[in-house]
Amino acid sequence: MMMKNEEFNFMDVFSKGICVFLMGVLSLSKAQKINEIIKQNGIFRKDTVFTVISDSKETYLPVTIIKGKEKGPIFSIVAGIHGYEYPPIIAVQELLNEIKPEQVKGTLIIIPIANVEAFQKRTPFINPLDNKNLNNAFPGSPNGTPTDQIANIITKEIISNSTIFLDIHGGDANEDLLPFVCYYDRKDSPENTKLAHDLSIRSQIDHIVSYPYNLTSTEPAKYAFKQATQQGITALSIEAGKLGTVQKENVDMIKTVVYNMLESSGNYVKSKPKIKTERKPTLFDRQDYIKVPETGIFYSELKSGDRVTKNQVLGYITDEFGKKKQDIISKANGIILYKVGTPPVNKDETLFCIGYSEK
């Protein structure tokens, strides 16, 4: 309703309307549906951006689609769900510059950095816009906080359009980690589980982890590649890199593992160097998670990849005055897949993950 003394300016309203319309068109063009892009004819690479707005907070999700000439699977690759895990992000940056559409069969969908805000702000684990962990937010929500919306876009636009879904992680700022490939052993989906296992073997990485799967169809998956598994997609994750730094050997390893998987899936037709190994990979189908019993300062001479035995003292926790509070004891015989690699620890964090096998 107009106020008595307020003049109606048609041109102002018209101009504002055009601006709003153009902003809407721009937003739509940036957030074009992935399945619409995939249906386009010809071979191409398209970089696109999904804008995420929640209250006054705004961020974005970058996505690259590379479509080959011949038909084939849709292989999706995601890096940077945790923005402080640098080797996966740098590896995917290099892959984006190396992979050409004419070398691709089917389609690649690539998210180079899923958590842009955490990456730019150097924030471990969480998105600084809402203090949420993206890898604890799936399937997400279209009306939630930025993290919820990003998870929703990945669920609806990336996972739902995938034949194979690969989520690449590494050790965050405080994590010492042994490189491995992992998947969920979903018993009621044996074909997907077998393909995930076969791709893991053909990746030629030294260590493979199989996680138990016991989700119902209505439970939130929380993790990205568990969400894909829940949706009936063949899903895997690479874990390589540690302690919030870029290690060239881990960047190179991630790239080689990805190339090996793409060749094995039939998505990539130009051979790349493979990881040279003379031994079969070690498979871990059980995991023992040791939680931090109380906040303090953590001491341990062990590192990822070390073998441990049941009842072995793995380290200890002190208070701020250097007084020992508690020893940390192993409950299993196995290999340290990852551990906290920095002194501060907080109650209920995962302190160690020990991998072992009952087979």
By the 10 Å C-beta count (0-12 exposed, 13-18 middle, 19+ buried), 49 is classed as middle
**How far is CA 160 from each of CA 34, 144, 267, rounded to the nearest angstrom?**
10, 20, 18
- The 10s digit of each residue's pLDDT in 152-184 is 999 999 999 999 999 999 999 999 999 999 999
Helices (H), the chain: 10-30, 34-38, 86-98, 116-120, 146-153, 190-202, 224-230, 248-265
Structure confidence at residue 358 (pLDDT): 81
Q: What's the rounded Cα separation, in Å, for the pair 85 and 170?
A: 5
Three-class DSSP category at 19: helix
pLDDT confidence of residue 116: 98
Burial grade of 25 (CB within 10 A; 0-12, 13-18, 19 or more): exposed
Give residue 189's pLDDT: 96
Residue carrying the six token digits 């995601």: 78
Q: Which residues of the chain have pLDDT under 70?
A: 1-31, 271-279, 359
Query: How do residues 51-69 score in pLDDT, each as one tens digit?
Result: 999 988 999 999 999 999 9
pLDDT at position 20: 35
Q: Are the beta carbons of 257 and 88 closer than 8 angstroms?
A: no
**Contact (CB, 8 A) for 204 and 180:** no
Joined together, the tokens standing for residue 58 give 């705004």
